[in-house]
Amino acid sequence: MAIFKRKYFKLSLDQPTGKDDETLWMKCKACGELVFKKRVRENNNICPKCGEYFFLTAPERIQMLVDPGTFEDISKPIGAADPLDFADQGGVPYLDKVKKAQEETGLSNEIIVGKASLNEVSVILAVMDFRFIGGSMGSVMGEQLCHAMRVAADERRPFILVSSTGGARMQEGILSLMQMAKTLSARQWLEAAGVPFISVMTYPTTGGVQASIANVGDITLAEKGALIGFAGRRVIQQTIKQTLPEDFQTDKFAYEHGFVDRVLKREGLRQELSRILRFFAGISRQRREPMALRILNSGRSHER
């Protein structure tokens, strides 16, 4: 029954993605002004009138970060399964939800992993798309992330993760929780290979992703306007029965409490990543072997 076999589409930045929308103008929800959509897109999806950040899809984010024409989707051709026969309140089966997300976003899954150049430095990039079931991490995202880290380690390219996610994908039950562990086990490969891992947290980076792979970068950046935290505001409010301070779990909160190295404006992100990568340019010709590699290489002969 080959007809049921779903197909896997890799992202090409040359193709339009998602439902095309023919209007030329949009109204900014922050300042209320009418702005020219093309101008907004050229401006990193920031309102040219008031500076409000509009949402970035994963393809838009990638386009914003990489050198034109250099992006190559390296994701594995896999798709969500429904091991739990999960259906939500409305009785909508999980895979229907996935299919709907695919149609609405034009993406095969909630994360895009690829090779690209960033200001002429070759990197491995993983970018989540919040539109795709809240950018939540299930088995597919876990596998794509591990695959990306494997390639980064093997090819000794810096690994950049841009998170935009509500956390674990509940519809995959315990397996989504296990993706936290799975991705962290893969993070060892980067450490062993001496490959830098830069984690960029955007709006939102919460739940199981904040409590796993997004939080173990060598360098951790927050995009201005990011929401960063483990538990949801509502859950916390119900638990402590108090209203939360205004800046709770904001970019400022994360910075002041020492979780992130810096808070960056979206328009500066590309330049900043490029600047950070310069410090790691010599990795492959470094005289001193990175620590982890040395540990991994040792041991073998030291068992009793």
Partner 1 sequence: MSDKRIVELERKIRELRTFSEDGIDLSAEIEKLEAKLQTLKEQLPPVPAPTTPDEWDQVKLARNPKRPYTLDFIRLMMDDFYELHGDQMYADDAAIVVGLALFEGETVVVVGHQKGRDVTENIRRNFGMAHPEGYRKALRALKLAERFGFPVISLIDTPAAYPGTGAEERNIGGAIAQNIYEMFKLRVPIVIAITGEGGSGGALGLGVGDRVLMLEHAIYSVIPPEGCAAILFRDASKAPEAARAMKVTAPTLLELKVIDEIIPEPGEGAHTDHETTAANLKEAIRRHLKALERIPLEKLLEQRAKKFQAMGVFEELEETHARE
Interaction of residue 178 with partner 1, rule CB under 8 A: yes
Scored b (16 or more CB within 10 A) or e, 213-227 reads bbbebbbbbbbbebb
Residue whose CB is less far from Zn ion, 52 or 67: 52
For the chain, give the number of residues: 304
Query: Which among Zn ion, a second copy, partner 1, none contacts residue 26 (Cβ within 5 to 8 A by kind)?
Result: none
Tokens of 7: 């197909």
**According to the binding rule CB under 8 A, does residue 295 interact with a second copy?**
yes
Give exposure, 245-271, as e/b (b: 16+ Cβ within 10 Å).
eeeebbbebbbeeebbbebbebeebbe
DSSP 250: B
Positions in 232-271 near partner 1 (CB under 8 A): 232, 234-236, 239-240, 242, 244-245, 248-249, 253, 255-262
Pick from 61, 115, 157, 182: which binds partner 1 (CB under 8 A)? 182
Question: In 3D, which of 223, 270, 228, 267 has the Cα closest to residue 247?
Answer: 228
Site track 11-30 with partner 1 (rule: CB under 8 A), x = hit: ----x---------------
Note whether 50 binds Zn ion by CB under 5 A. yes
Segment 263-292, which members bind a second copy (CB under 8 A)? 287-289
123 or 260, CB closer to partner 1?
260
CA distance 97 to 106: 14
**Residue 181 binding: pick among Zn ion, partner 1, a second copy, none (C-beta 5-8 Å cut-off by kind):** partner 1
Q: What is the DSSP string of 82-126?
A: -TT--B-TT--BHHHHHHHHHHHH--SSSEEEEEEEETTEEEEEE
Site map 76..95 versus partner 1, x via CB under 8 A: -xxxxxxxxxxxxx---x-x
Q: Taking CB under 5 A as the rule, does residue 52 contact Zn ion?
A: yes
